[in-house]
Amino acid sequence: MGTAEDSARFRSDDCPLCEGAGVLSWKQPQDGVLRTIELPCPAGCGGHWKYPSAEQDRVIEQLGEVPERPKGNTAAANRIGAEFIREALERWGFNSGVQDHSKE
């Protein structure tokens, strides 16, 4: 079976993945109906899809700095600290008593 690294070596007529069809197809049941599913050949035989360059280890260009992910509720909770959150919950009436969660 060909791999992403081998994909540039195959022509459409001798591809071991799609056997020249340009697509991979199979029958799959869906909601009681047998449907034919088709995907473009990952070897590039279909002409409109190929493995991304990064998956072929052919990336030359290095990106700049990786963008920082957006800050959400988790980041805010980590910033203010667990002690502050525990005290706030106690002030709002949540019980901070020790609870026994053993499986006895």
Q: How far is CA 76 from CA 66, 70, 71, 73, 83, in A?
A: 21, 11, 7, 5, 13
Q: Which two tokens stand for residue 46?
A: 């279909």
Residue 62 counted as domain residue: no
Q: What is the pLDDT of residue 93?
A: 84
Residue 11 counted as domain residue: yes
Closest CA to 51 of 40, 59, 42: 42
Please state the domain count of the chain. Answer: 1
Q: What is the pLDDT of residue 1?
A: 43
**Alpha-carbon gap, residue 82 to 103, rounded angstroms:** 27
* Global pTM value: 0.35
Q: What is the pLDDT of residue 78?
A: 83
Residue 48 counted as domain residue: yes
Residue 20 counted as domain residue: yes
Q: What is the pLDDT of residues 24-57, one digit of tens each?
A: 888 988 888 999 988 888 777 766 655 666 555 6
Closest CA to 45 of 12, 8, 14: 12
Q: What is the pLDDT of residues 56-94, one digit of tens each?
A: 566 666 667 766 778 888 888 888 888 888 888 888 888
Q: Is 51 helix (H, G, I), strand (E, B) or coil?
A: coil
12: domain range?
Answer: 4-57+71-91
